[in-house]
């Protein structure tokens, strides 16, 4: 479905209609499956020939990988809008502009257009959609890994060389002849991460994975810390804050210097960090088992206070099971099938919801397992065992829609189709937050989120990345 007159935050009000519509369409969809699949694989088509539609509000879309390809799914109807063949084990990351993804395929990052975007126009935004398109545009290198966006720039890191490429997110276009990047070298090959800031300064992890360093625009080292063994899982906070996980705590760069927050344990790996807009508290995974055993505790890292609090969720979870809600709440999906809601300030369990059937994490990290991603006040949760995807209204904490998929879902990432600060022309935060086109929807949650759903933070671009050395993610 191309035309939507509601934003994602109004889904709780229209869920009953959506469920009925999906049920009514089920028989027709089944009858037309072969024809639909034939028209969905549009990679070879000329992207310039796609028709554009103006929408009544933001049109979130999801990229979901599976064995042999990637599907772009409508974030409201959960209808597949395009299925594309791709080779090998696939990873997917939002590019950071609210529209595009980078598909990690072989030795390259490949550009995928979700076909949804917004443009500022005076005191409101206009929203558009078109068919998704998997392009042949790539950024090539040895062992592509982390993708980070920050201040209108994207940074692509290659583990095999330690090189990274920065690019202007505003220039991403599947109709272009190539993706223009600027290349940098870290200290050497390693499973790492880097980001380039608007002024040309750079953050990068160290070759031996003992920490990180920060360089000015001329490439001179501003500060360096080697107090973060097993560095992994970059995320951004307010006021230029950058945090990475360690095997004994978290390392924080505050814009001028590094500070280590110790966990107080000899080994307590925090490998993935999840930010919330405007908050200095990060959600992290937490594992005291050096052999990579089950995790049943999560970490709440207060970077401002320099403290780490752990919370027991009572059931195992893994690196794809953490997210943040619209009010910054910590969300944890556990193997007993429950979605836990935790207050990040107090560590208190405030609510829970049964969403999926009980499951067990597969032995190989590449294998599908339930995953969660959030756009505004809606969580998208995959269930590989039943080939389903579920939508959870986080305001009411209820499942508002579920849909069967034609494949076993593996990785899932969203784009919200909104204008992005530092990327969209004429972007003004206050105006973009308050006004939508046509009926100027003023839903209190219909805001431009800072990178998880737009571009200020960027944990969502890297917190699922694998650790190739110990297969702990």
Which whole-number Å values give the CA distances from 215 to 222, 223, 354, in the listed order? 5, 7, 46
Token pair 């002024």 in the structure block, residue: 199
Q: CB count, 10 Å around CB of 30?
A: 8
What are the per-10-residue average pLDDT scores of the chain (473 residues)? 38 41 42 38 71 96 97 98 95 97 97 96 91 98 96 96 98 97 98 96 98 97 98 94 98 96 96 96 97 95 97 97 98 98 97 98 92 98 98 98 98 96 66 45 37 38 40 45
Strand partners, 212: 205, 225
Q: How far apart are the C-alpha atoms of 281 and 252, rounded to whole Å? A: 12
Q: Minimal CA–CA distance to 105: which of 85, 121, 125?
A: 85
Q: Is residue 384 classed as helix, strand or coil in its secondary structure? A: helix
Write down the pLDDT at residue 429: 54
Q: Tell me the C-alpha distance between 367 and 347, whole Å.
A: 31
d(CA 48, CA 177): 12
> Is the backbone of residue 337 left (phi > 0), alpha (psi -120 to 50) or beta?
left
CA torsion 258→264→265→267, rounded to 10°? 0
How far is residue 364's CA from residue 247's CA, in Å, rounded to a whole number?
21
Q: Are the CB atoms for 92 and 70 separated by under 8 Å?
A: yes
250 with 303: CB under 8 angstroms?
Answer: yes
What spatial distance separates the first Cα and last Cα of the chain, rounded to whole Å? 35
Residues 380 and 62 sit within 8 Å (Cβ to Cβ):
yes
Strand ranges (E), 34-162: 53-55, 61-66, 69-74, 80-85, 91-94, 100-105, 108-113, 116-121, 124-129, 133-140, 144-150, 153-158
DSSP string covering 13-47: HHHHHHHHHHHHHHHHHHHTHHHHHHHH--TTS-G
> What's this model's pTM, rounded to 2 decimal places?
0.84
Asked whether 298 and 316 are in contact (CB, 8 A), the reply is: no
> What are residue 228's phi and psi, to 5 degrees?
-135, 75
**What CA–CA distance (Å, rounded) separates 19 from 168?**
40
What single DSSP character describes residue 287? B
Residue holding tokens 């042949």?
136
| Distance set, CA 166 to CA 16, 148, 280 (Å) | 44, 9, 26
Name the β-bridge partners of 120.
125
Query: Cα 96–50–33 angle (5° rounding)?
Result: 95
């Amino acid at each position: 479905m191309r035309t939507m007159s509601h934003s994602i935050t109004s889904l709780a009000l229209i869920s009953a209609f959506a469920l009925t519509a999906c049920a009514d369409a089920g028989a027709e969809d089944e009858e037309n499956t072969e024809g639909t699949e034939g028209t969905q694989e549009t990679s070879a088509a000329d992207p310039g020939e796609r028709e554009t539609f103006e929408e009544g509000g933001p049109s979130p879309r999801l990229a979901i990988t599976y064995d042999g390809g990637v599907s772009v799914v409508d974030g409201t109807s959960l209808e597949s809008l395009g299925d594309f063949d791709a080779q090998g084990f696939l990873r997917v990351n939002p590019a950071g502009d609210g529209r595009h993804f980078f598909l990690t395929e072989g030795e390259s990052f490949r550009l995928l257009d979700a076909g949804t975007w917004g443009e500022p126009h005076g005191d409101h935004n206009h929203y558009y959609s078109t068919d998704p398109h998997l392009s042949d545009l790539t950024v090539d290198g040895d062992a592509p890994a982390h993708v980070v966006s920050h201040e209108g720039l994207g940074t692509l890191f290659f583990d095999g060389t330690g090189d990274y490429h920065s690019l202007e997110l505003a220039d991403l276009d599947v109709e272009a002849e190539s993706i223009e990047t600027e290349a940098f070298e870290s200290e050497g090959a390693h499973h790492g991460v880097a980001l380039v800031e608007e002024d040309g300064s750079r953050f990068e992890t160290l070759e031996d994975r003992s920490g990180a360093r920060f360089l000015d625009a001329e490439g001179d080292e501003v500060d360096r810390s080697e107090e973060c063994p097993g560095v992994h899982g970059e995320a951004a906070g307010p006021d230029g804050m950058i945090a990475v996980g360690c095997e004994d705590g978290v390392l924080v760069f505050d814009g001028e210097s590094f500070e280590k927050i110790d966990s107080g344990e000899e080994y307590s790996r925090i490998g993935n960090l999840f930010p919330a807009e405007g908050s200095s508290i990060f959600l992290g995974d937490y594992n005291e088992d050096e052999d990579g055993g089950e995790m049943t505790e999560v970490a709440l890292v207060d970077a401002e206070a320099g403290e780490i609090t752990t919370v027991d969720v009572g059931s195992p979870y893994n690196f794809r099971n953490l997210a943040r809600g619209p009010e910054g709440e910590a969300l944890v999906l556990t193997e007993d099938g429950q979605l836990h809601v935790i207050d990040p300030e107090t560590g208190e369990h405030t609510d829970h919801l049964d969403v999926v059937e009980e499951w067990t994490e597969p032995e190989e990290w590449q294998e599908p397992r339930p995953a969660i991603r959030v756009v505004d006040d809606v969580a998208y949760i995959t269930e590989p065992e039943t080939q389903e995807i579920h939508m959870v209204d986080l305001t009411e904490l209820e499942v508002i829609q579920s849909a069967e998929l034609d494949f076993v879902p593996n990785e899932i990432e969203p784009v919200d189709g909104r204008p992005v600060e530092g990327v969209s022309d004429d972007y003004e935060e206050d105006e973009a937050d308050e006004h939508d086109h046509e009926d100027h929807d003023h839903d209190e949650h219909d805001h431009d989120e800072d990178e998880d759903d737009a571009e200020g933070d960027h944990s969502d671009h890297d917190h699922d990345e694998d650790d190739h050395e110990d297969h702990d993610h």
